[in-house]
């Protein structure tokens, strides 16, 4: 079922016309009269609509979007090389991330700044929007960047359960942090992963001091674009969100 | 630590010279005397070695590869478009798949056959080998294809726990199939996912009749290249393999 993010819902029983990019998208989809589509306010509420003979959308009553997880997971990734960020952003949105934040770290080869970063963020946000529509999310997860590793640590460590995945950690696993049947599931989780070259030991020490839990993703070494998605999937599974 | 798959291990205490692609790879890595590398027999056993001043490898005693999961998960994917198969194969190997099998289904746009399929399988197997080295796997998961959906169902349904992920299934989830604290974890699991256009209802009925458990991956609709990796990650997490 096609899905469009809109600024404001039409009143129930009134007809609505898609505009801008949504209208372009609808033309590509060749919506037919009688077909059902969903408008979404991007705040977790859906409005089911029926396509009318003239092409307008007849609005039904708003309902909560069933695809939004109860847990808010922020995905923190060090700037990767090439177009890997696009890949991670698209998949993280599908898998239920609340936001994606990029940060520079010691071993980052790519460190976009200024105009280049602004352009990338615009492109990444479009990818997040499109992935949110396709996966039936109730929000468009924001994609943003912070200027330093220090700032990333400060913000990420503010989550109820702040996790940094490190390939040299051998003991602490996600299952220890998210035991099945725990009395209270965390409402906010941050997941931080490094660039191709990994984190330095000094960076890990700083993260630990900032309050991040240093955690393994198991004995198989995951690429920098695989680790955040595997971590996100495992957290969603552990918390009953898939 | 660099990792090389070899046909046979050198005897402990003897010196070994890498050959063929392994030798090429070693040159790229610029191994230095004293550095530790691992030979792997591709059957789950590792042989730790030390680089000698002349470039040879002094073999230590073989040990079981710590990265091999106890559960054998076969990943069954319908032929996807473009280069998505390469992506899924690389990530599935990182995440611990025992094998990757491609099959045709009703909505597949791509259906490689004959020479084209043979070339693709060769390329895919190289990707699997490289991913196995990089992620420190103890085996090189085979990549193969079957000729029909019927054959795929027959083989996949032979696993102890055969699962097909279907976006229109709303009730049965992985958590019901893999309850925490279950007395006996399954030793073999097959995970089957469809192409871009999904499975038809008739295909789902046939799968059910063949013994596949039809299962949801949650309320967010995952792309055809995301679903097998999310399913594999969740199974590995549920079974304590990450």
CB atoms within 10 A of CB A101: 20
How many angstroms separate the Cα of A73 from the Cα of each of A96, A130, A192, A232?
8, 19, 11, 8
- What residues of B are in contact with residue A221 (Cβ under 8 Å)? 67, 94, 134-136
- What residues of A are in contact with residue B223 (Cβ under 8 Å)? 90-91, 94, 134-135
- Superfamily assignment of B72-238 in CATH? SPOUT methyltransferase, trefoil knot domain (3.40.1280.10)
CA A51 to chain CA mean position, Å: 30
Within an 8 Å CB–CB cutoff, is residue B130 touching chain A?
A: no
Using CA coordinates, name the residue in chain B closest to A88. B226
- What residues contact residue A218 under an 8 Å CB cut-off, 6+ apart? A173, B96, B236, B241, B242
Q: Which two tokens stand for residue B83?
A: 């280069």
CA distance B115 to chain A (A): 31
Name the residue among B134, B223, B234 with its Cβ closest to that of A94.
B223
Would the CB atoms of A94 and B221 count as touching at under 8 Å?
yes
Q: How far apart are CA A212 and CA A160, in angstroms?
A: 10
Would the CB atoms of B134 and A226 count as touching at under 8 Å?
no
The closest of A52, A48, A45 to A2, measured between CA atoms, is A48
Q: How far apart are CA B196 and CA B162, in angstroms?
A: 21
Alpha-helical runs (H) found in chain A: 20-29, 84-94, 114-135, 149-156, 174-177, 201-210, 227-238
CA atoms within 13 Å, Cβ hemisphere of B240 = 12
Within an 8 Å CB–CB cutoff, is residue A229 touching chain B?
A: yes
- What residues of A are in contact with residue B73 (Cβ under 8 Å)? none
User: What is the domain partition of chain B in residue ranges?
Assistant: 3-64, 72-238
Cβ atoms of A75 and A232 within 8 Å: the answer is: yes
Name the residue among A94, A220, A233 with its Cβ closest to that of B234.
A233
Domains A3-64 and A72-238 fall in the same CATH topology: no
Q: How far apart are CA B171 and CA B189, in angstroms?
A: 20
Would the CB atoms of B234 and A242 count as touching at under 8 Å?
yes
- Report the CATH fold assignment for A3-64: Ribosomal Protein L25; Chain P (2.40.240)
Within an 8 Å CB–CB cutoff, is residue A151 touching chain B?
A: no
Q: What is the pLDDT along chain B (242 residues), one digit of tens a residue?
A: 889 999 999 999 999 999 998 999 898 999 999 999 999 999 999 999 999 998 899 999 999 999 999 999 999 999 999 999 999 999 999 999 999 999 999 999 989 999 999 999 999 999 999 999 999 999 999 999 999 999 999 999 999 999 999 999 999 999 999 977 767 889 999 999 999 999 999 999 999 999 999 999 999 999 999 999 999 999 999 999 99
């Amino acid at each position: 079922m096609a899905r469009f993010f809109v600024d404001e819902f039409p009143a129930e029983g009134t007809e609505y016309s898609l505009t801008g990019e949504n209208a372009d998208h609808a033309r590509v989809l060749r919506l037919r009269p009688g077909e059902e589509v969903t408008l979404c306010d991007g705040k977790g509420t859906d409005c089911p609509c029926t396509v009318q003979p003239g092409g307008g959308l007849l609005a039904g009553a708003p309902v909560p979007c069933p695809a939004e997880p109860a847990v808010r997971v922020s995905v923190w990734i060090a700037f990767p090389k090439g177009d890997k960020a696009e890949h991670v952003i698209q998949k993280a949105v599908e898998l239920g991330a609340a936001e994606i934040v990029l940060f520079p770290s010691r071993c980052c080869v790519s460190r976009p700044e200024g105009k280049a970063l602004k352009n990338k963020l615009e492109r990444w946000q479009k990818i997040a929007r499109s992935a949110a529509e396709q996966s039936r999310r109730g929000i468009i997860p924001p994609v943003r960047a912070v200027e330093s590793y220090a700032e990333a640590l400060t913000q990420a460590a503010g989550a109820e359960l702040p996790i940094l995945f490190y390939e040299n950690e051998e003991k602490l696993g996600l299952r220890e942090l998210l035991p099945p049947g725990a009395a209270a599931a965390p409402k906010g989780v941050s997941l931080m992963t490094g660039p191709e070259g990994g984190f330095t030991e000094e960076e890990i020490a700083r993260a630990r001091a900032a309050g991040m839990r240093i955690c393994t993703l198991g004995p198989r070494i995951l690429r920098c674009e695989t680790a955040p998605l595997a971590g996100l999937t495992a957290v969603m599974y552990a918390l009953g969100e898939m």
